[in-house]
Amino acid sequence: MRCLARFILLFTFCVPSLSAQTDTMPPLGGILLDADTFAAAGEPSAVTRSSRPGSKKSLRHKAGVQVFNQHCEMSCGSCAATSAAMMRRKLYCDPRCQCAVDEVFSWSFLHNQLISRHGPVNIRLKNVLDLLAAQGIPLADSFPNTPCSHARLPEGNDPQNAAGYRYWTYEPIFRAHQFIPGSAKQKETLFREQLVPKTIAWIDFNIPVIVGLLVTENFRRLTPKNCLWEAPDLLEGAKGHALLVIGFDDAAAEFEVLNSFGTGWGCGGVARIRYADFARTVQEGYVLKFNFEAGRKVHCPERRR
């Protein structure tokens, strides 16, 4: 098999300068954050953190993270498709399949279909995960990632190639606001109390969390001089975005997040968000899981030499 890149969607182009990368970043907004569709995904698992309070952990170096560099603006919704593809990498490979470290999965395979089905501004994170669970996702060498176009749709052997990577499920990590009993204040308190510890609990399991959150314009302008996103008090003009949570630091009370804006954003594509801002802006969160626990027989994809 011809290997293509590391962990998330890395192209072999030269990395543009910071100013160029910032100027050509995708506009904010890409997914609809909808508690109804989130709650429809089912009840969250009763997971608890295994690390002690005061701990810190990052999955970044464990997984050999490399950051995807786009060279034109991607359409709305690509953040969700990209984040889903990010999650399919080494952290999810069962030892029986001996997954290669540098396999790259095609976020375009998901994104192109989402644009075709829902349009560029009506994509929900759950749409991405439902599509992923139903059909899988192929490697980028069979359905190349195309950041400048979403015209190509699956055809020929594409569905068969995707089905080889279909053995996974997804589930929410916390409840949506309106499905929690009690007053509005009680719901908000419970939401925040669940969100941070449950996110940490999954990272303790070496599983990153894909979240949909509200971000403002200052989010897309993070640079190496300031990799901490501080959400303004008033989230006026905030739009939906999807990214991965890959680490936490209790001492700093911050999460580490991996974005799809390229190495010119934040600290090489990674940034930090305080627990308080995370709980205030995140609207939904999911983890992807293999079906091994359910006893489903796993067929490891055949490898080309």
What 8-state DSSP symbol labels residue 88? T
Return the closest-CA partner of residue 245 out of 236, 253, 237, 254.
254
Q: How many domains does the chain divide into?
A: 1
Return the closest-CA partner of residue 110 out of 184, 41, 30, 55.
30
* Mean pLDDT, range 57-85, rounded to an integer: 64
Cα of 143 vs its chain's centroid, Å: 20
pLDDT in tens, 222-268: 988 889 999 998 888 888 888 889 999 999 999 999 887 877 888 98
The pLDDT > 70 percentage for the chain reads 72
Taking the C-alpha atoms of residue 287 and residue 173, their distance in angstroms, rounded to an integer, is 7
**190 versus 26: which is more confidently predicted?**
190
Taking the C-alpha atoms of residue 240 and residue 36, their distance in angstroms, rounded to an integer, is 15
Residue 153 lies in a domain: yes
pLDDT above 50 for 92: no
Q: What is the pLDDT of residue 292?
A: 47
Cα dihedral 249, 233, 242, 229 sign: negative
CB atoms within 10 A of CB 12: 7
Structure tokens at 190: 């419970």
Give the model's confidence band at 93: pLDDT under 50 very low, under 70 low, under 90 confident, else very high: low
Residue 208 lies in a domain: yes
Residue 304 lies in a domain: no
Q: What is the pLDDT of residue 258?
A: 87
Give the model's confidence band at 95: pLDDT under 50 very low, under 70 low, under 90 confident, else very high: low
pLDDT above 70 for 78: no
Residue 231 lies in a domain: yes
Residue 275 lies in a domain: yes
Q: What is the pLDDT of residue 108?
A: 86
The beta-strand segments (E) located in 176-279 are 209-215, 228-229, 239-249, 254-258, 270-274
Q: What is the pLDDT of residue 107?
A: 83
pLDDT above 90 for 54: yes
pLDDT above 50 for 286: yes
Residues 106-125 as b/e (b if ≥16 CB within 10 A, e otherwise) read bbbbbbbbbbeebeeeebbb
Q: What is the pLDDT of residue 124?
A: 86
Task: Tell me what the pLDDT averaged over the chain comes to.
Answer: 76
pTM of structure = 0.82
Output the CA angle 78-215-85, nearest 5 degrees: 30
Domain membership of residue 285 as a residue range? 18-294
With 0-12 / 13-18 / 19 or more C-beta atoms within 10 angstroms meaning exposed / middle / buried, residue 185 is: exposed
pLDDT in tens, 106-159: 888 988 998 888 887 788 888 888 888 888 888 888 998 887 778 899 999 999
Residue 290 lies in a domain: yes
Residue 187 lies in a domain: yes
Answer whether 272's CB lies under 8 Å from 228's CB.
Answer: yes
* Mean pLDDT, range 284-299, rounded to an integer: 62
* Mean pLDDT, range 179-187, rounded to an integer: 80
pLDDT above 60 for 16: no
Taking the C-alpha atoms of residue 5 and residue 67, their distance in angstroms, rounded to an integer, is 10
Q: Is 290 helix (H, G, I), strand (E, B) or coil?
A: strand
Return the closest-CA partner of residue 47 out of 257, 206, 247, 248.
206
pLDDT above 70 for 304: no
Amino acid 72 reads C
Q: What is the pLDDT of residue 256?
A: 95
Residue 10 lies in a domain: no
Answer whether 203's CB lies under 8 Å from 56's CB.
Answer: no
**Residue 269 belongs to a domain with what CATH number?**
3.90.70.10
Structure tokens at 27: 């506009």
Give the model's confidence band at 18: pLDDT under 50 very low, under 70 low, under 90 confident, else very high: very low
